Amino acid sequence: QLQFVESGGGLVQPGGSLRLSCAASGFALGYYAIGWFRQAPGKEREGVSCIRSSGDSTNYADSVKGRFTISRDNAKNTVYLQMNNLKPEDTAVYYCAAVRLAYGFTCSPRQDDYYAWGQGTQVTVSS
């Protein structure tokens, strides 16, 4: 059974940094493209970043380009999201999920193609 556990969230001041981790259990992470998503209070969940199964291709939402970096360590079965220069509008619960293998090994623009959502980790950016 595919499961993810997100960690690394917390309270940080504007301009600060956090590194989120998405640890997989029950399967080999290396087969899957993995996405990071976030949901702020009162807003819909949105895609933040995604990394292909091989790690050779990544994409980012325009709002985080140049500030966030996604990476993966398949040997550790973990995907990371390094978040720098954080802004108050980055405040949200952050989730990771895997792209269904039926879609392939690359990232999908549709949230319906993702599954095995983790429980999320709260990121709060505030002074």
Furthest-apart CA pair in the chain: how many Å?
Answer: 44
The segments of the chain whose pLDDT lies below 50 read none
Contacts of 112 (CB under 8 A, 6+ apart): none
In this structure, what DSSP letter does residue 32 have? S
Distance (Å, whole) CA 13 – CA 28: 35
Alpha-carbon gap, residue 32 to 74, rounded angstroms:
10
Question: What per-residue confidence (pLDDT) applies to 40?
Answer: 97
The pLDDT, as a whole number, for residue 90 is: 98
| DSSP reduced 3-state for 113 | helix
Q: What is the pLDDT of residue 103?
A: 82
Q: Strand 68-73's sheet: what is its strand order?
A: 3-7, 18-25, 78-83, 68-73
